[in-house]
Amino acid sequence: MSLIRKLNTRAKTEINTGFGANAADYGGRFLNKSGKANIEKRGIRFLERTSWYHTMLAIPRWQFLLVIFAFYVIVNLIFGSVYYFIGAEHLKGMNVTSELEKFGESFFFSAQTFTTVGYGRISPDGFLSSSIAAFEALLGLLSFALATGLFYGRFSKPKAYLKFSENAIIAPYKDITALMLRMAPFKNTTLTDAEAKLTLGMIIEENGKVTNKFFPLELEFEKASALTLNWTIVHPITENSPLYNFSAEDFANTHGEMIIFIKAFDDMFSNTVVARSSYTFKEIVVGAKFIPMYHRNEDGSRTILELDKLNSFTEADISYAFANASQAVS
């Protein structure tokens, strides 16, 4: 039976998802695991298509600190070289003889000027060196103001702080099976009024044309009053599901992707935060069930949430569900 015929024609489709319908021009997955769109923009200059503010807020912490440190060192190397080449006689208090020491003193004088520390041991002497020092001091003030703003922006930016399981699973669910994925808050935040939306995207051939099809998947629970423990998103695979009658081979041989969107309210920031991720069919484990993540402590006074078990699952027998589906089809 072909994949087109296996797709349930009663399953609702989404028309305008923002991902486009022409699969022949689409490459790779729709969303990366981080939740960012798998899109590379071209056609305009790099500086025009890049928001440096958003980039500096979004990059990992170590990259951000590396950029700040590299900028500081490079700027002082440039100004230190300028002081060195205009001559030591234009810097009062520099009492060194070797060229290496002269460059070192010029570099550290630049650092003192850039940060407006100004120890006073070395000072500019003459109009040229004074003008350069004045310009560097102005640049330093503006740079530290920008750096302070970026630090504050990164520190104060509302974020969902949700981790998703690396894999989704096809697990036993009542008398049928269900697609399941799991998430959990991993910081000491309080998220309330959470909403989940799960969309299936598939590349299929229809009427001789390769196209993207998107199906909103019905969930067991679409809303949660609070996210304090882990939340398992469950899509029951009923007769109305586009995944109905899918076998393990279908998941292995079909190009499909599950896109998960989570929206919640962070009461600390009094703002709505969003998290998203995706699972390709190759990241879906057929015949498994998640291991519980939480339990009470020794004296029964608190609940322990084991975040390292977010992606922990064991094998589960779902052959009965496929057998029942085959009998229903026949």
Non-local (6+) Cβ contacts of 324 within 8 A are 175, 176
- pTM of the entire structure? 0.76
pLDDT band at 211 (very low <50, low <70, confident <90, very high): confident
Pick the range with the lowest mean pLDDT from 89-103, 135-149, 215-229, 314-328. 314-328
Q: List every span in the chain annotated with CATH 1.10.287.70.
A: 52-156
Nearest to 195 by CA among 223, 232, 167: 223
CA separation, residue 317 to residues 216, 289, 321 (Å): 27, 9, 9
Q: Where in the chain is the domain with CATH 2.60.40.1400?
A: 3-33+166-329
Q: How confident is the model at residue 8 (pLDDT cuts 50, 70, 90)?
A: low
CA neighbours within 13 Å on the CB side: how many for 244? 20
pLDDT for position 5:
44
How many other CB atoms sit within 10 Å of the CB of residue 326?
11
Task: Please state which of the four CATH numbers 1.10.8.590, 2.40.50.100, 3.30.420.40, 1.10.287.70 is assigned to the domain occupying 52-156.
Answer: 1.10.287.70
Cα 139 from Cα 151, distance rounded (Å): 18
- pLDDT category of residue 24 using cuts at 50, 70 and 90: low
pLDDT tens for residues 282-317?
A: 999 999 999 999 999 999 899 999 999 999 999 988
Q: Let me know if domain 3-33+166-329 sits in CATH 2.60.40.1400.
A: yes
C-alpha span between 283 and 167 (Å, rounded): 5
- Low-confidence winner among 14-18, 229-233, 239-243 (lowest mean pLDDT): 14-18
Q: Answer yes or no: is pLDDT of 26 > 70.
A: no
CB-neighbour burial class of residue 14 (10 A; exposed 0-12, middle 13-18, buried 19+):
middle
pLDDT grade for 2, boundaries at 50, 70 and 90: very low
Who wins on pLDDT, 22 or 226?
Answer: 226
Q: What is the pLDDT of residue 172?
A: 92
